[in-house]
Structure 1
Amino acid sequence: MEIVHNPVKTTKTSRFRDHIRTTWRAFSRRRTAVLGLAIVSVVVLIAALAPLLTPFDPVEDVDYGNRIASPSSTNLFGTDEFGRDIFSRVLMGAQVSIAISAASVTISAAIGIIVGLVSGYYGKVIDNVLMRLVDGLMSFPPILFAIALMAALGNNTGNIIVALAVVYAPLFARLVRGTVLSVKKREYVDAIRVMGGSHIRILLKHILPNCLSPLLIQMTTYFAYAILAEASLSFIGLGVPQPEPSWGNILYDGRQYMLEAPWITIFPGMAIAITVLGLNLFGDGLRDYLDPRMK
């Protein structure tokens, strides 16, 4: 049987590969961005493989005879006041902290996209109502607003995601609305509308793609903010409940042992700092790459 190749499909595949190579070649010129991407990729990989990499159970393996032990070949990052392995808790804390941050940023971006598209496109009364609500939410400092929400909802993982999503959604809504207001006045949008294009088609196919570049940049920025916010909430006892590990509550556990056992706070603090640094470097590089004025 003779095999017939589809030249159209082959051409599309080769074009896609060429586009990927060209994109990566242009992005890789920004060394700090590549460094940030590498850091974020390693942290996410470690978080995904944390259950396989932890030598001890971060919750159940309690050894009171090995309390506040300094780093060693057995316990790479030492142990805490209950004899739990800090290395295992930091790895599992990465999974918890990154999962919470990623979920909250994704939900807040989705809410912001919907609100921003509707508000910017339809305008008038809808825009006034939605933007006054957004202004009201943005009038509170983000971390204080998150603390108030957690105090009302209670501290569990689901409520942290909800609180951070509510805090960051207005920021995404403002960003998307601003882009929509500039795009909807362009001639090709008016032409599509005159030709009978539906509002949904115009919003999803012609306006939303123009919002994606600034949205992706902001998502990397707020991802870093969300990690810091989750750690802050957990540090003051309003975040991930004990004994489940997160970077914030590991810091909280080690605050009273900073002089005699500084490793309890040093290693989760380094994990937060490295992750936030990677996200900021990647976000800055992504902004430079996607901004046409920087090309």
Structure 2
Amino acid sequence: MSALRSIARALLPRGVRNALRAPGKSARRALHEALYRAGRHPVLEVRPGWRMRCHPAAYPVIAQHQLRDPEQAAELDRFIAGCAPGMVLFDVGAHYGVFTIAALHYGGPAARAVALDPSPAAVRVARAQARLNGGAQRVRVVQAAAGDGAGMVRLVAVGVQAEGFYVPADAAGGGLEVPQVTLDALAAETGLAPTHVKIDVEGGEAAVLRGARGLLSSPHPPVLFLELHNQMIREQGGDPAEAPALLAALGYRVEGEDGAVLEGAALATPAMLRVVARKP
């Protein structure tokens, strides 16, 4: 069996291997795209008074994560509570753009968003979500990774089972090469100063923060909604204390899910944390 795996790795692109590992899910993805093109756009009541028209691929994912998963539902509720009229969101690791559409809905007609994701599948669906929900003129969807420098970066898909999430490529190579941008450069290029930044980048949090020093040190620094993937960082050989240390150095106060201020080991030890960081 190991010999067959080695041959498959040598002859087949990773995307093909992922599809072969989960043929049922690959077929559903193709069906979802066909339904979207045929005009099937299911409506999901994400929260009372907020009904979102969905790409068929997005509907079950949003329903599972933002409605049925208690931790992710609480994360979205916390973001909604922090939305404000005319807000500008940088949605980093936007995936299907749920937070982007939430910002447009709860931020009113003057709200704007930039949705950033390296996955071509996620970007395609996020653009459809913006169009379906009247945000095409207020959302810019960018296929890129965020980091601490400009250039190209090589990523690999976690797999079909993970709905198109990408992580850094290992030494074996392969994967997808995508542009990498800094949030400081993105703000300069778009002319937008974010009031809110959501960061969900599968362990790359410190690099994103390093590339946003200008924004985070500005007279009007954004509020951060941040996922700290500490266990993933440890598995990648990184230091989970780096991102919290950067936030502290920039003068940010980090709050846990209950609103309590967290510092030091309380931020770096848990496998994963969803936090809000803001300047006092």
Q: TM-score, normalised by structure 1?
A: 0.25
> Which protein has the bigger strand share?
2
Q: TM-score, normalised by structure 2?
A: 0.26
Tell me which structure has the larger Cα radius of gyration. Answer: 1
Q: RCO (CA 8 Å, sep 6+): is it higher in 1 or 2?
A: 1
